[in-house]
Structure 1
Amino acid sequence: MFDLVPFGRGPLSNRDRDLFDYFDKMDRAFFRGFEKEFSPCRTDVLDQGGHYLLQAELPGFQKEDIKLSIEHNMLTISAEHREDKEEKKDSFVRRERHYGAFSRSFDLDGIDVQGIDAKYENGILELKLPKLAQPPVPPSRQIEIK
């Protein structure tokens, strides 16, 4: 009767002969793993007792390229990098343009926002996020009913 093959996936489907499908397959083969190579800002968060230490990898960025902002109790790290190269030799001209940007946000619940410190060195952004002092928890007790 009917094959239980989803529409367009049979051995002789029209999709296999579609010109745009060839381009899609070529893109997937050529750029395979591209997303893994350029993951946006690998980040570690360490609990160091009275504060958290956030370490974000930002290789290739200058300190001036990085912006830190706090809005509605959210910390946003954003960076933008532009590079133009031009090389001339005899009759050969080469021009390359690179552009990269990303943004990442973190919730600041339980963090003393006024005490945040940041430093950037050797491609690593470090943020010291001091914890808010926790109010003392009253001891539990039993109440006698009279």
Structure 2
Amino acid sequence: MFGMLPFDRSNDNLFDTFDNFARDFFRSSNASLPAFRTDIRELDGKYVLEAELPGFSKEDISLDVKDGILTISAEHRENREEKDERGNYLRRERRYGSFTRSFDITGIDESGITAAYQNGVLELTLPKSQPVIPEARRIAIE
């Protein structure tokens, strides 16, 4: 019909040619990389999740659990200025980074999750929840 593709525009308009070229070029570069690297190991009765977050301080990281989803967010802002004696900039740099990843934690005891951050690695201990065994009971006949 009109070449309908979700989340993409067709290249029919001459003025959009450069925009489409840039979008396609940068899409293939690193769009498939996750926000930050994580390793998940299974140990006795728990999982250990290690997330690499170099350059962030502990205060830059937030962990949220809602409806069985664990969300790890990290945000860092940095401004650095160097001026000469007259107040003119010799160098002015700004840096901003923000990352978010979410994980399904079905089967995890949410109240027992612990976290530690050291040397750029966030380590979460996720204890497995104990399976609920249905209770059997006898019903008296009257």
- TM-score between the two structures when normalised by the length of structure 1: 0.68
User: Which of 90, 96, 101 is the aligned partner of 1:99?
Assistant: 96
Identity %: 47
The aligned residue for residue 60 of structure 1 is 55
The answer to whether the aligner puts 1:49 opposite 2:44 as a matched pair is yes
CA contact (8 A) 2:64 2:72 kept: yes
Q: Is the 8 A contact 2:52 2:122 kept in 1?
A: yes
* 1:75 and 2:70 aligned: yes
After TM superposition, the structure 1 = structure 2 runs for residues 1-146 of structure 1, keeping only pairs within 5 Å, are 21=17, 33=29, 35=31, 39-89=34-84, 91-135=88-132
The verdict on how the C-alpha distance between 1:29 and 1:106 changes in structure 2, with shifts beyond 3 A counting, is closer
Q: Secondary structure at the match of 1:64?
A: helix
- Deviations along 1:67-118, whole A, 9 cap, x unmatched? 0111111111111100001112465532111111121111111101111110
Aligned residues: 124
SS at structure 2 position matched to 1:105: strand
How far is 1:27 from its partner? 7.8
The one-letter code sitting in structure 1 at the alignment partner of 2:54 is P
The CA deviation string for residues 32-84 of structure 1, in whole angstroms up to 9 with x for no partner, is 84557x74111111111210000101011000000011111111111110000
Larger-gyration structure (1/2): 1
Q: Which runs of 5+ in 2 are unaligned?
A: 1-10, 135-142
Runs of at least 5 residues in structure 1 that lack an aligned partner in the other structure: 1-14, 138-146
Judging changes above 3 Å, is the alpha-carbon distance between structure 1 residues 107 and 26 closer, same or farther for their aligned structure 2 residues? Answer: closer
| Partners of 2:49 and 2:123 within 8 A in 1 | yes
Aligned CA-pair RMSD: 3.1
Under a length normalisation based on structure 2, what TM-score does the superposition of the two structures give?
A: 0.69
8 Å Cα contact 2:81/2:93 also seen in 1: yes
